[in-house]
Amino acid sequence: MGTVKPSIDSVRGFQVAGVHAGLKKDGAPDFSLIVSEVDCVAAGVFTRNKVKAAPVLLDMQRLEENPKSIRAVATNTISANACTGAIGLKNARASANLVADALSIVAEQVLVMSTGVIGTHLPMDKIARGVELSSANLGSDWRAVAAGIMTTDTRPKLGSITVNTDAGTYTIAGIVKGAGMIAPNMATMLSVIVTDAELLLPDLQSSLSSAAQQSYNRIVVDGDTSTNDTVLLLANGMSGVSVASDAELDAFQAALNALAQFLAQEVVRDGEGVTKFVTLNIVNAESEADAERIGQTIGASVLTKSAFYGSDANWGRIVAAAGRADTPFDPDSASLRVAAGESVASDAPGLEIFSGGMPTDYREADAAAIMAEPSITFTLDCGIGEGAATIWTCDISHEYISINGDYRS
């Protein structure tokens, strides 16, 4: 298995386009189209928010009824098409119909995604323009596609990985958008992953669900779960490589996990107003689920995020967040270390700042120097079991307030 690279050269059988349809005022790409030359098996994971956008409802229905012949995914920005009632569903279907007509396929083969302001209807004249332009300019410019799904993102986020097998080579590639409203529960987060490998539907869905749990569900920017969160995985088999045996599926899963984690971490790095990338390693909790819950609680805490921003090694906020995570946690059994960097060796996890229910005899200057780094790793050893999970989060800055204070303006 190769390593993930932050670019996409090509994926056999897929063509793409990112265009300006007039949705954004600044002329930036605002509509994207991903098309397969042949039918794809498709899987998806979606927001668990009870308020689901029209495109989410439509895609969930289409993947339930027609998961083996998907041909295209279209994405618009500016309007989330959420909380838009019957008109929103009508417009979501109309968007798919426009794509289907342009590509000479049927509407049921088209999935749609939307991102932007909740409660706004799709400007269908501009959606039509986006379909017209993108369908006429299909090619291999994946960076333009990633740019065409951005809202408050500052840069396109994309990646790919190549897997070599005895039967040949296949590629897994993906794009993602998201900078705020990020606390996925399967955040505003949309992602499309494609592969030219051949997989059966149950294997594809199982692989995506597992990868999402280890990646998209392990990131926190601000603690909010979007109405539109969607991750799609399409497989068209154009490489001629079949992924079916246990060993083949394990290799595919490892590659998919690596790509999904890369894309998820890119969301955190590009979070709204982010100045620090923070890794939370929760170890020796009672279970993996407990470790994840503790990490998510710490990662979403405004107090801890404020301390990260201020380069303050405020262990009290971290321990307090762990204690309110509604999981077994004993501060007298726990210890907390902090280290500079994103990858910290298990045998050298950094400066211990809390242990046995109280602070250690560390020097504040040493802790402050670590906290001043752009990437920081905390290791919380719960001391009560064997469960472990890693969460990727960030600080919260004044800029986050500025961005979200006038998001609709």
Q: What is the largest CA-CA distance in the chain?
A: 70
Asked if 178 and 190 touch (Cβ cutoff 8 Å), the reply is: yes
DSSP 3-state assignment of 296? helix
Which listed residue (75, 84, 171, 188) is catalytic? 188
CA separation for the pair 183, 222 (Å, rounded): 7
Q: How many CB atoms lie within 10 A of CB 323?
A: 15
Query: What is the distance in angstroms between the CA of the first residue and the CA of the last residue of the chain?
Result: 46
Helices 201-213 & 246-269, crossing angle to 10 degrees? 40
Please confirm, yes or no, whether 188 is among the known catalytic residues.
Answer: yes
Question: Is residue 109 a contact partner of residue 70, using CB atoms and an 8 Å limit?
Answer: yes
AA identity, residue 350? G
Q: Report the alpha-carbon distance of residue 113 to residue 387 in Å, rounded.
A: 36
Q: Cβ(42)–Cβ(70) under 8 Å?
A: yes
Q: Beta 157-165 vs 168-177: how paired, if at all?
A: antiparallel
Q: Which residues carry out catalysis?
A: 188
